[in-house]
Amino acid sequence: MAIQNRYDFVMLFDVENGNPNGDPDAGNAPRVDAETGLGYITDVCLKRKIRNYVELCKEGEPGYNILIKPDKALNTKFTEAYEAIGLEKKGKGKNADDVRKAREYMCKNYYDVRMFGAVMSTGEDPCGIVRGPVQINFARSISPVYVQDVTITRQARTTEDRKETGETEMGRKSVISYALYRAEGYVSAALANKVSDLSEEDIELLWSAIINMFENDHSAARGKMCMRKLIIFKHDSVLGNCPSHLLFDKISIKQKEKLPPRSFGDYEVTIDAQMPEGVELIEKL
């Protein structure tokens, strides 16, 4: 049974001495808003970490496959869906009923399709389009960030010609000393009921994935990343009881000192617990 409650949520997470989301257009340096100096992280980056966690903890379980990953071409997976439910493959003029059945199969078997939706209308075996009930905005840092280019050396040369110039060579990595980021998200029960049949079990897995998204994703490049808070607003209706921006405004984050922040303790997080009628405040962290 699909969820019967709309949700809005806020994530607070930080990075220490790392690059949380490199920008290919800027030499893979951390992403920075040129006008404000605030750092930002794309929704695609955050959803990738959720997918990775779900795949790690639910590997092999029916209904928890991940569509968006580099194992097979997407069109190949769409053809496999047609094979699994006994539909004619690579036929011209697919009828709407076949596409609907294929779409339902994809929603049932792929967790990220149920959650985030997908455009699956490509190839000779299209599976339609799913509007994702779960959407996440770009994360933005609370304070301006300073990107530092750190010079590093390595002793292992890649070719004999390069080795002739010396035993070591120089490189660099771009890091942020510290930044606290805020991201906001939405769960539409109306869309879940209409298309993807997202369940309460799926939602609980989403919260677990958000809380643990950095715990199995550590790398030298990303530094120390921690989920600090997950704050959820649960509506007691499908369409919701209050506009999301009014709920988001109830969370205030202020820097305590004017000095550059270097830890989560340098911020004060205030939550107005007085909720509108029909909305429940849940603090997971």
Q: State the average pLDDT over residues 190-211.
A: 94
Residue 52 CB neighbours (<10 A): 16
Tokens coding 195: 């298309």
Q: Given pLDDT bands bounded at 50, 70 and 90, which one contains residue 165?
A: confident
* pLDDT attached to residue 91: 67
Helix, strand, coil percentages (3-state) for the chain, rounded to 5, are 30, 35, 40
Q: Report the mean per-residue pLDDT for the chain.
A: 93
- Reply yes or no on whether the pLDDT at 258 is more than 70: yes
What dihedral angle (degrees, nearest 10) is formed by the CA atoms of 137, 142, 143, 145? -40
Contact of 233 with 7, CB cutoff 8 Å: yes
The tally of CA atoms less than 13 A away on the side-chain side of residue 62 is: 2
Contact of 68 with 51, CB cutoff 8 Å: yes
> Which residues are registered as beta bridge partners of 180?
14
* pLDDT attached to residue 195: 87
Which stretches of 58-110 are DSSP H helices?
74-84, 96-109
* pLDDT attached to residue 236: 95
- Reply yes or no on whether the pLDDT at 271 is more than 80: yes
Q: State the average pLDDT over residues 75-101.
A: 87
Q: For residue range 113-162, list pLDDT tens digits in order.
A: 999 999 999 988 999 999 999 999 999 999 999 999 888 887 777 777 77
Q: Given pLDDT bands bounded at 50, 70 and 90, which one contains residue 93?
A: low
* pLDDT attached to residue 96: 87
Q: What is the pTM of this model?
A: 0.92
| Strand 169-187 versus strand 22-23 pairing type | unpaired
